[in-house]
Structure formats: structure tokens, C-alpha cells
Structure 1
Amino acid sequence: MTAPRWAGVRAGRLALGTAPLAGLYEPVSDAVAAATLSAAWDGGVRLFDTAPHYGAGLAERRLGEFLRGLPRDDYTVVTKVGRLLVPGRAAHDEEGFVGAPRDVVRVRDYSADGVRRSLAESLERLGLDRVDVALIHDPDEHWAEAVGAAYPALAGLRDEGVVRAIGAGMNQSAMLTRFVRETDIDVVLVAGRYTLLDREAAADLLPACGQRGVGVLVGGAFNSGILADPRPGARYNYAPADPAVLARARAMQRLCAAYGVPLAAAAVQFPLRHPAVSAVVAGMRGAGEVREDLALLETPISAELWTALEDL
């Protein structure tokens, strides 16, 4: 394993993902968002993942309000580029964020100018003079522009010291692996592709990151909730789980219960067992969820249970 290039960036094993704080699927008040962030800070969380996409800027604003006045070198902020927020009217947020502003709309833009504008506007919403990590966000259908324009722009901003580390964040491993092999990025965020239910990233992305010293953040460890609570109607990858996936998750739940371990504890700890993974990014809504996730992270899990889970 090559030493991670972003080793100088403060991480920790658990990061707070701010999408739920921007009303993903259900509304969240300013007070609940602030309490969530406060509980995370009190629990030792110092890595915060956000994006303009989350609540059309709401997540960045709420995170910035919380961080105001805290020592700047004591935390790490990850944000993203690739979606600009432009004036416009929306009857509702088509991305599932309840309470998002309706006077702006998202526009995909992976151009160099778009990257610089996006980052400048994120800094304004966050109230910061720099972010630590900037990721190209979901460029699935935009590889040519992302690698030909967005990446060089971020590399230039890294050289200027505007950001400390750069990379990409996606819900797939194949294109992230291309970024690792074909560019000089520092970190990737892979969502939902290295979990108890989906280990796609183990075949390509994680080995490549280990060889190149690229840091890995794993999001979606609960695969949209099914690995936290696999009941009928549970979401898997942002949609209702099909019967086969639900049955597999429930089999894992029964196995974990036989060892006295919550399935959610195995889910949140699983990615961290791989040497290439730096931290798990968990979306949390409410101080209670923060405390629960921190406890899950410390739940003892035997080698015997891990071996049994590998076979499911």
C-alpha cells in the first residue's frame, strides 16, 4: 500500500454527510441541523462532506453557519463541483430535497469556468476562504469534459492552494478507477459500491487506489437505508429494494443477531476493514442518529462473524 496522498488532510474514521441535513426525503429544521452538527463535533467527528447539490445550497449554508468561529485547522470540509445553482423557478425539488430553495435550479457544468464559479459560490455559502477537498460530482455522462476541463481546473486550484486535495465522487467504481489511473487525483468518494450488499469497488477501484496512494471515502454504507433496517419498503440505492436484495439483507440481519451484533454496526464498519479506505461518510439526521452511528462504529465484531458475512 502506498501512503495516501491526502495524508495531511484531517480525516478520522467517520465523516458526516450533510445531504440529510438539507432535507433529503423529509424536512429538517435549522435547529435539528445545528443539533446534528453539534453532536457530531462533540463526538469527535471532524470531516464534513457537502455539495451544492444537497438542498440546492442549503447543506453548505447550514454547515457554514455551524463551523463559523471554530478553529479552521481543526476540521476538514469536502465539497463538490459539476452542478451550478442558477436563478430559476421550481415547483418542487426534483432531486428529493424537501425545503430546498425554489428560486434556483441545478445546471450541470464541468467546464473550467464552471468549476471555478462553483467553488467560489460554495466558499461564499460556507463562509470559508478555502475548502480542503473538492470533488468532481457525478460526471457519469460527462467523462470527456470532466477529465478534459474540470480536472485540470481543480489541479490548478490545488497548485494555487485554494484546495488541498482533489478528486471525484460517484455512485459507480468503473469511472472512478479511470480517474485514479489516468489523472493525478488525491481522493475518491465512492457511494454504495463497497458495502455488505455491493462489493463492486473491491474488484477495480480499491486496488487501484492502494497502488496509487489515492485516499478512499466510502459513502452509502447502508445502501440508502436497507442495511440499517431491512424491513419491507426499505430503500436500496435510492429506490425500493427488490425482494431478492431484501431477502439477502434480512439474512445478514439474522446472522448478525445470532452474534449479538446489529446489522447496522457491521454495515458501517465493513468498508473500514479494507486498507485503502480512509473513512466512512454517513448521512445523519438528528443528534440521536449521530450518537447511534458513533456507537455502531465501536461495536465489537468477531472475526468469525466477518467470515460468515463474506459468504452471504
Structure 2
Amino acid sequence: MKAPFGFGTAPLGILPDLVDAQAAQRCLERAEELGIRYFDTAPFYGAGLAEERLGAFLAGRDPAGLVLSTKVGRSVVPGGTTVFDFGRDAVRRQLEESLRRLGTDRIDIVYLHDPDDHWESAIDEAWPALAELRASGVVGAVGAGMNQTAMLHRFVRETDMDVMLLANRYTLLQQYEADELFAACAERGVRVVLGAVLNGGILATGAVPGAHFLYRPAPPDVLERVARIEAVGFRHGVPLVAAALQFAAAHPQAASVLVGAKSAEELERNLAAAARPIPAAFWAELVELGLVGADRALPA
């Protein structure tokens, strides 16, 4: 898989601002029209609602040329309670339910979903179960998706997983946390998908009152750094979101960058930003000001 941008379906299933079914379908259709071929989902997103909506979109379509990924280990039960279960039987059951919602008998990628506090069951039960499903052809590739690098690094070293989904840890604001993970993935031939490259919102909204960083109100030092990047962007005519998306996609280990959206219009804006020409002088000034590392991979 090498797709510069994929579509993350979380916004199509998660409350409180639930997207209605028609808008969700239009968003998925527009993603396909705009050339997106990788769609990521999870049973956790709306207790299966995002998977159901992706399944409705896929119904009657030829899946050839599309890459689909979902996750196991983290789910939501009635009442909104989050449940983590990385046991062998639970993983198989969850995947069966996901395949039913998606309307398919095979999935390209399955990730262990946030096993941060469940290393032993994830490595001893969930991973062997997914490896067996990969060997049988039900699953094309296996990986783990997390908001941290240390455990992903362990999975790379201790298994033969195929792909890691790293969220929030390689962005315009967090440029160095993933270096060891990237190096290990390059050595072992493991692909990397990047998620949440807007850091929970602030790299889309900018340094405005109430801006969120890592899903919490942004601290003063982050607001100040973002404001400085925005000021450079203003001088060069570069929107912040364009810089953030293109910076993440430029990393040589990034097989894909997930972009989420609640509407076709929002998706269009994000992808237009991702394709917007950015002058080399913009990146040069960020490097000069110490806002981007001189050793970072930059968009051509």
C-alpha cells in the first residue's frame, strides 16, 4: 500500500455531533471521487456505526483497488462504556462482527486498537490469533494502532507484523518522538500509517481560544509555537493545515496519512490543502526559526 492520503471514518460514527447517514455516504462517495483508495475504520467508532456506514458505501462496489482496515481489542457496549479485550476468542468474534458490518469476507489490514495497558494479552493472544487469520487469507496484513511509540516499537521488534498505525506522534508539532520507531520499521520492512496529524485540532484551527492539542485544551507553549508557525505561513501564503498535512506525508516511512472529515466539503478543503503548492522559502524560514528541524524530511 502506498496511498498519500487515506480516509479515517471516526468522524462518521462518533458522538456527540453525529453525522447523519446521508451526509456520511456523500462524504465517502466524495472521498472515492477525489482519488482516495484507503479507508480506515474501527468498531469503537460509534459502537460499529462507522463500520456500518462504510459497509453501506461498499455495497455493490467492486472492492478491487480499495484498501480497507479495521481494528480489534477496543469496543463500545450499550450505554457508552469502552471495553478492552485482547483475548483470542474476543479478537476473532470482534473481527467476525466487523466483517458482517462491512459486508465482506476479507479485510486488508487489522490493527490491535490501543493495547497500551494490555501488552500480555495483546502479544500472547491477540497477535497469534491475527497471525493465524493472516495465514488463512481472511486478513491481508496485521498491525497495531496507538498514540505512543514505545509499544509499537516492541511489536516491530518482537513480531512480524506488517504495518503500524501511529497517531499524534509525528506531526508539525511533534517531530522527533517517532524516530526510533521509524528506524526499526525501515529495518524490518514494516509500513507506517500516520493518523491524527493535526494533533487533535490545533493544526487545523490554529492558535485560537479553546484550541485543542492531544484532545485537551492547548497549553500556552503549544499555542505560542503554533502562532509562530501561522505567522510564517501568513507571510508566505501557506495555510497551517496545508503545512501540517504535507509535512506528515513527506516522511519517507509514511505509507499513508489518514484524513478525517464530517462532510464532503470538509474533506474537499483538507485534500485541497494537502495538494496546495508550498514555496520552499516557507520551510526554509521554519527551519531558520527552529520551528522545523533541519534534518526533517520536507515536501518537495
| TM-score, length basis structure 1 | 0.89
Q: 5+ unaligned residues in a row in structure 2: which ranges?
A: 292-300
Shift of 1:34: 0.7
Could you list the per-position Cα deviations for residues 92-130 of structure 1 after superposition, in whole angstroms to 9, with x for gaps in the alignment? x4xxxxxxxxxxx54211011111111001001111111
CA contact (8 A) 2:47 2:75 kept: no
Cα distance in 2 for partners of 1:198, 1:301 equals 20
Residue of 256, 279, 300 corresponding to 1:302 = 279
Question: What corresponds to 1:96 in structure 2?
Answer: none
Q: Find out whether 1:50 has 2:41 as its counterpart.
A: yes
CA contact (8 A) 2:26 2:264 kept: yes
Does the aligned pair in 2 maintain the 1:18–1:283 contact within 8 Å? yes
Instruction: Give percent identity, aligned residues only.
Output: 49
Aligned equivalent of 2:205, options 213, 229, 234: 229
**In the aligned structure 1, how far is the partner of 2:67 from the partner of 2:54?**
12
Q: Distance in 1 between matches of 2:54 and 2:71?
A: 14
> Residues of 2 paired with 1:202 and 1:176: CA distance?
10
Deviation at 1:25, TM superposition (A): 4.3
Shift of 1:296: 1.1
Show the counterpart of 1:256: 233
Count of aligned pairs between the two proteins: 288
Q: After the TM superposition, which segments of 4 or more aligned residues of structure 1 sit over 6 Å from their partners?
A: none
TM-aligned CA deviation for residue 159 of structure 1: 0.4
State how far apart, in whole Å, the 2-side matches of 1:31 and 1:201 are.
39
| C-alpha separation in 2, matches of 1:107 and 1:229 | 31
Counterpart residue number, 1:246: 223
Residues 220-269 of structure 1: CA deviation (Å, up to 9, x unaligned) = 11111100112110111111111211111111111111111101001011
Residue matched to 2:58: 67
- Kindly report which structure 2 residues correspond to 1:121-270, keeping only aligned pairs within 5 A, or say none: 121-230=97-206, 231-270=208-247
- Alignment match of 2:22 (pick from 16, 27, 31): 31
Structure with more relative contact order (C-alpha pairs < 8 Å, separation 6 or more): 1
1: CA distance, partners of 2:183 / 2:248:
14
Structure 2 CA distance, aligned partners of 1:130 and 1:265? Answer: 35
State the Cα deviation string for residues 52-106 of structure 1 (Å, max 9, x = none): 00011000000000011111112111100002455x4x1xx4xxxxxxxxxxx54
Structure 1: give runs of 5+ residues left out of the alignment. Answer: 1-8, 94-104
Structure-2 separation of matches of 1:197 and 1:184:
30
Within 2, Cα distance between the matches of 1:309 and 1:24?
37
* SS of equivalent to 1:128: coil
Residues 83, 118 of structure 1: 8 Å contact kept: no
Q: In structure 2, do the counterparts of structure 1 residues 215 and 24 end up closer, same or farther at CA, with 3 Å as the change threshold?
A: farther
**Deviations 1:177-208, CA, capped at 9 Å, x for gaps:** 11111110100110010001112443211111
Secondary structure of the structure 2 residue equivalent to 1:79: strand
The residue identity in structure 2 corresponding to 1:142 is H
Query: Normalising by structure 2, what TM-score?
Result: 0.92
1:279 to 253, 256, 267: 256
Please report the RMSD computed on the Cα atoms of aligned residues, expressed in angstroms. Answer: 1.4
